[in-house]
Amino acid sequence: MYERYDGLIFDMDGTILDTEQTHRQAWHQVLGRHGLSFDEEAMIGLNGSPTWKVAQFIIASHQADLDPHQLAAEKTVAVKAMLFDTVRPLPLIDVVKTWHGRKPMAVGTGSEHAMADALLTHLNLRHYFDVIVGADDVPRHKPEPDTFLRCAALMGVAPEKCVVFEDADFGLQAAEAAGMDAVDVRLL
């Protein structure tokens, strides 16, 4: 099915790892300390965005006087405290295992590089991927193509010969902007 591609790129959160609920719980915990909340539908629309951009959105929606980078840092601490106990691979990990050693593979995520590396290592999945590109590895984030273009460059594969597996609209837009085919895993 994916034979025609020279490189496979996977989003992480919600695509190969079931982290969504843990991220939501961490946001509830952190925002509750500041008397803030979030709209579930709006948060889903922000899937694939770096944490500080989500924080910026929440702060703006509440017209709060908070630093988005500080709020994002608080959320990262909260999520780290619970993530390693709750995260599990999603069924798409079978595609990763099937193509391991046959095609270069990358993770292109809106999470921080160190977090992605630590989670994949914790779940004994890190060795499947040649490359990890996190939100802190690129200047522009999904829906911009930078994450996926960097994945392709680091794998040594032309962008048009890559396929991206994504669960978020921003990620699908980023794949299209990068000139890559994409699989919307929500439809699988």
Of 28-42, 115-129, 165-179, the range with the lowest mean pLDDT is 28-42
For 74, the enclosing helix (H) or strand (E) is: helix 68-86
Which pLDDT belongs to residue 20?
83
Which pLDDT belongs to residue 93?
97
Percent of the chain at pLDDT exceeding 90: 71
Q: In terms of pLDDT, which residue wins out, 149 or 40?
A: 149
Give the angle subtended at the CA of 19 by the CAs of 116 and 87, to the nearest 5°: 85
Distance, in Å, from the CA atom of 106 to the CA atom of 33, rounded to the nearest integer, reads 36
Of 75-79, 113-117, 151-155, the range with the lowest mean pLDDT is 75-79
Is beta strand 105-108 parallel, antiparallel or unpaired with respect to 162-166? unpaired
Asked whether the whole model's pTM tops 0.75, one would answer yes
Supply the mean pLDDT for the chain: 92
pLDDT in tens, 130-178: 999 999 999 999 999 999 999 999 999 999 999 999 999 999 999 999 9
Sign of the CA dihedral running 55, 136, 116, 101? positive
Q: Which among 11, 13, 130, 167 is annotated as catalytic?
A: 11
Residue 127: which residues within 8 A CB-CB, separation 6 or more? none
Question: Taking 80 as the threshold, does the pLDDT of residue 51 lie above it?
Answer: yes
**Which stretch, 30-44, 78-92, 144-158, has highest mean pLDDT?**
144-158
Instruction: Average the pLDDT over 9-32 and give the result.
Output: 91
- pLDDT level of residue 92 (50, 70, 90 thresholds): very high
Query: Could you check whether the bond before residue 143 is cis, i.e. omega within 30 degrees of 0?
Result: yes
Residue 65 is a catalytic residue = no
Q: How many CA atoms lie within 13 A of 151 on its CB side?
A: 37
Which pLDDT belongs to residue 42?
79
Question: Taking 90 as the threshold, does the pLDDT of residue 45 lie above it?
Answer: no
**How far is C-alpha 81 from the chain's CA centre?**
18
